[in-house]
Structure 1
């Protein structure tokens, strides 16, 4: 929470370097929750969270992403993700059409924020198509999920050294299968899980748990027909 407050303070001062540096230290499940508590209107610990969001929107264009350094990549990506999740709009200049690490990470960050905010299946479909033809986006997907879960160390240039078992990452994905909306579920079963399986075929020794979680989600009801069909397809492949 202290680091999340430092990030908010950097935003309020208009200090992009300090803000991004603090955001970069908020990569992980618990840290993400702390950031949400800072800026989410219904649960914020600050008096005027909307002011933090407004200042952050102004700040985003002043971040120097050309350095492509690791802290900037992660910090800027988190900023993009949180703003997209809050506003439902990805910053206009965020795109995947580049070979740079920072752009790939921020592009994915915006997509995930959009899925969580809007539940738009088209956004998940478009991201899946982009990833199919981009080795960088595929590597970024593994790196993002694996580092967020703490199974893969944060390394420069999205380097994937070795092939550790993705135990904590698998647990995070299984929890998301249960809890998050249909568009995000579609993203998981069509994009995230297949890419993670290409890296760790055992899925953190949790393939059976994943299949069970998807089955239970289907039993509880999946409104979107495409998400239901894709979920059934993945279950068949897992078994």
Structure 2
């Protein structure tokens, strides 16, 4: 008998299960469903013992059943995830690329994981438009953990065989880049450049020249990738000076911080969306875990930029202060950065 997943987790693949078995696991019977869901007995009888019942039920019937049988929503989500993932896996297998699934995937992470697999399939097929669309969606929908794992050659990688091949193919897609016009494509192109820079497949002087949001976003993407790869303090100091001198880079910083993982549609006019709680959650985590050049980015660019949009609430100030205090206790080797973090920590405490 197959083990049940931990509460809130999903096993892969989700095998087809007859409606009868799902109903019985929910502590109900045939007549209970007929009464509560108000589904005709003849309709339910036709679906009852069929493992493929979900593909044969009408949309209205599915809605009625999900409303009264507790396990159905989770099961249908798992079946949908399995179908999407297997489609992408077939594409990758044909290219000689094998995927290593995480040991545990939460139910609310399946969309992010299937999108990351779609990113890998699009790279393998050279589908630039599909690739940028998926990367753009991943940016604002919070899929970065799984998308990053496609490019990461370390133990957290989603790719068990063919990782270097996938990285090389992604670099080829980037090298053949054409001008992007939509905001989604701009973001997708920037994310691709960021990942390739972070994992060493893209080099460049990262100079910012054109006075457009597209250029500003691409520049920031490569700078952040370089910081995470090389812990380059000189690069960070140069970028800080650029931001201080250029209102367009300031606007791009704000827009980027507020749209990343926001769950909101990307504003096509580059207006600033509402500040989502996830913005500060990311900063608190990164302040403790990432390298010193990125810590300098947080203290000198990101946090001041967010404060300029709206004063920090007391609870946020407390969380940020605790994170920077923890980093100070762990030790900061760069003297200038240590002074800056200490000064920011004091300001946060009021």
Q: TM-score normalised to the size of structure 1? A: 0.90
Check 1:90–1:229 CA distance in 2 against 1; reply closer, same or farther (3 A cut). Answer: farther
Q: Unpaired runs of 5+ in structure 2?
A: 1-112
- Asked if the contact 2:140/2:265 (under 8 Å) is kept, the reply is no
1:64 and 2:178 aligned? yes
Query: 2 CA distance for matches of 1:107 and 1:206?
Result: 29
Q: Distance in 2 between matches of 1:215 and 1:29?
A: 30
CA RMSD in angstroms comes to: 2.1
Call closer, same or farther: CA 1:81–1:130 in 2, change over 3 Å.
Answer: same
> 2: CA distance between counterparts of 1:190 and 1:151?
26
Where 1:150 maps in the other structure, the secondary structure is coil
1:215 to 325, 331, 334: 325
Q: Which of 147, 167, 189 is 1:53 aligned to?
A: 167
Per the alignment, in what secondary structure is the counterpart of residue 294 of structure 2? helix
Q: Contact 1:17–1:63 (CA<8 Å) still a contact in 2? A: no
Pick one of 258, 267, 282 that aligns with 1:155.
Answer: 267
2:342 is matched with which residue?
A: 232
Q: Count the aligned residue pairs.
A: 235
Which of residues 178, 193, 207 is equivalent to 2:288? 178
Which of 245, 251, 265 does residue 139 from structure 1 map onto? 251
- Give the Å deviation of 1:88: 7.2
1:233: Cα distance to partner?
Answer: 2.0
Cα–Cα, structure 1 residues 137 and 205, in superposed 2: closer, same or farther, change >3 Å? farther
Matches within 5 A, 1:14-25: 14-25=126-137
> What residue is the counterpart of 1:9 in the other structure?
121
Give CA-to-partner distance per residue, 1:20-50, whole Å, 9 cap, x none. 1121111158411101222222233331111
Q: Work out whether 1:195 is the aligned partner of 2:309.
A: no
Correspondence 1:92-107 to 2 at 5 A? 94-107=206-219
1:85 to 195, 198, 204: 198
Distance 2:252 2:199 in 1: 23
Q: Which has the higher helix share?
A: 1
Secondary structure of 2:324's counterpart equals helix
Kept after mapping to 1: 8 A contact 2:193/2:202 = no
1:137-171: CA deviation from partner (whole Å, max 9, x where unpaired): 1111111111114176520142125xx44532112
Secondary structure of 1:25 counterpart: helix
Q: Is the 8 A contact 1:88 1:113 kept in 2?
A: no
- Cα distance change, pair 58–203 in 1 and its aligned pair in 2 (3 A): farther
1:169 aligns with 2:279: yes
1:37–1:165 Cα change, 3 Å: closer
RCO (CA 8 Å, sep 6+): is it higher in 1 or 2? 1
Deviation above 3 Å: which 4+ runs of structure 1?
88-92
Contact conserved, 1:57 with 1:83, CA < 8 A, in 2? yes
Q: Give 1:73's match in structure 2, choosing from 186, 194, 203.
A: 186
User: What TM-score does the superposition give when structure 2 sets the normalisation length?
Assistant: 0.63
Hey, what's the Cα distance between the residues in 1 that align with 2:314 and 2:146? 26
